[in-house]
Amino acid sequence: MERVLVTGGTGFVGAHCIVQLLGKGYTVRTTMRSLQRVEDVRSMLRVGGASEEAIAGVEFAQANLLEDTGWQAAVADCRYVLHVASPFPEGVPKDENELIVPAREGTLRVLRAARDAGVQRVVVTSSFAAIGYGHPASKKFFTEDDWTVAENPAVFPYIKSKTLAEAAAWEFIRREGGGMELSVVNPVGVFGPVLGADYSTSIYLIKRMLDGNVPGMPRIRFGSVDVRDVAELHWLAMTRPEAAGERFLCTSEHFVWAVELARILKAMGPVGRKVKTLVAPDFVIRLVGIFDRAVKQVESDLGKEKDATSEKAQRLLGWQPRPVAEAVRASAESLERLGLL
């Protein structure tokens, strides 16, 4: 069966991509910075529903986005590569290059190795962060044709890193791709079933809300998508001929206000008993942002009615994402089930 390399198999999206591929009969190899995490990945795959036989066939390769070593062996004999690995911190680093360099240079390392190995197509996991930031306040609706204005000083390091990494990937394909195909998936906030202690920053927000550590929701609007649907869109972008050379916004329905997530969780009963459904005044968020760099990142979005849809992915690839409420509830249920609350 065809072999697929998934970079960053220890991560939330990466592990779900592996589960999806195993269920479809692919041979999967995955990279990680240290092979000491092998059992962690196998555990996540079990929680995700993969069979023991399929898990036993998963191959592991040690490779770091900051080093050339290991990538040639990682991509050997692979037809496809899903480049999912990328840093996403809970806070803001003091030096933006802590994020930008691994994201951009790591992406180029993977692409060069894939090209040299004769890989047919690479799917890069980018983000809505590469689309919807740094624009005038009057711009409310975003599509795959939009790019974040990375030069805008209001754009934070993570957002800048995703933008520059994706731009570098497209430039590489144009200049030296050698016929290798590229597709890009741009997810919004990723929710859904947690498989272990590694999960997205979006899930961390859900956990904080369920723990009662979010006294009021900021007045921001953002997109949400279930991680299982993110994994499926990666597979579609990997295999469908019409996906070559395209980027796909990965979002369920329209964007929602943050307080709507709180209301979904509150309505779940006992698990949501600590959730606060108050909307925090903008000045409070700005005040907290002085002391909390993570909170400061949302300041530029306060009150903005941003929106986007996955119309392109649905039309071209037949992708059908789950509703936002289902993804949010699955996050909470899995956190409770795994004893992470």
- Mean pLDDT, to the nearest integer, of 190-211? 91
What's the whole-number average pLDDT of the chain?
92
Nearest of 33, 29, 13, 324 to residue 186 by alpha carbon? 13
Distance of CA 13 to the CA centre of its chain: 6
State how beta strands 307-308 and 141-142 pair: parallel
- Out of 160, 162, 266, 304, which one is annotated catalytic? 162
DSSP state of 20: H
CB 188 within 8 A of CB 223: yes
CA distances from 119 to 31, 181, 269 (A): 16, 9, 49
Tokens of 258: 């943050």
Output 295 or 3, whichever has higher pLDDT: 3
CA dist 178 and 321 (Å) reads 33
CA dist 338 and 46 (Å) reads 13
Amino acid at position 306, single letter:
K
Residue 285: band (very low, low, confident or very high) from pLDDT cuts 50, 70, 90: confident
For the chain, domain boundaries: 3-199+224-254+308-321
In the chain, the percentage of residues whose pLDDT exceeds 90 is 79
CA dist 338 and 68 (Å) reads 36
Residue 88: band (very low, low, confident or very high) from pLDDT cuts 50, 70, 90: low
In the chain, the percentage of residues whose pLDDT exceeds 70 is 97
Whether pTM exceeds 0.75 = yes
CB 189 within 8 A of CB 260: no
For 241-257, how does the pLDDT look when each residue is reduced to its tens digit (9 = 90+)? Answer: 999 999 999 999 889 99
- Mean pLDDT, to the nearest integer, of 187-205? 91
Nearest of 242, 263, 217, 219 to residue 313 by alpha carbon? 242
Question: Is 274 among the residues known to form the active site?
Answer: no
CA dist 220 and 28 (Å) reads 38
Output 229 or 302, whichever has higher pLDDT: 229
Tell me, what's the pLDDT at 298?
Answer: 76
| Coil/strand/helix, residue 10 | coil
* Residue 287 backbone dihedrals phi, psi, to 5 degrees: -65, -45
Output 294 or 322, whichever has higher pLDDT: 322
CA dist 279 and 309 (Å) reads 25
Q: Is the pLDDT of residue 289 over 80?
A: no
Tell me, what's the pLDDT at 92?
Answer: 63
| Coil/strand/helix, residue 182 | strand
Residue 294: band (very low, low, confident or very high) from pLDDT cuts 50, 70, 90: low
Q: Is the pLDDT of residue 320 over 80?
A: yes
- Mean pLDDT, to the nearest integer, of 252-269? 94
The separation between the first and the last C-alpha atoms of the chain, rounded to the nearest angstrom, is 40
Residue showing tokens 């307080």: 259
* Residue 40 backbone dihedrals phi, psi, to 5 degrees: -60, -45
- Mean pLDDT, to the nearest integer, of 114-121? 98
State how beta strands 189-191 and 224-226 pair: parallel
Tell me, what's the pLDDT at 162?
Answer: 93
Q: Is the pLDDT of residue 204 over 80?
A: yes
Q: Is the dihedral of CA 120, 125, 128, 131 positive or negative?
A: negative
CA dist 324 and 304 (Å) reads 20
State how beta strands 307-308 and 247-250 pair: unpaired
Decide yes or no: CATH 3.40.50.620 for domain 3-199+224-254+308-321: no
97-106, 224-233, 287-296: lowest mean pLDDT where? Answer: 287-296
Nearest of 207, 196, 250, 201 to residue 10 by alpha carbon? 196
Determine how many CB atoms are found less than 10 A away from the CB of residue 264: 23
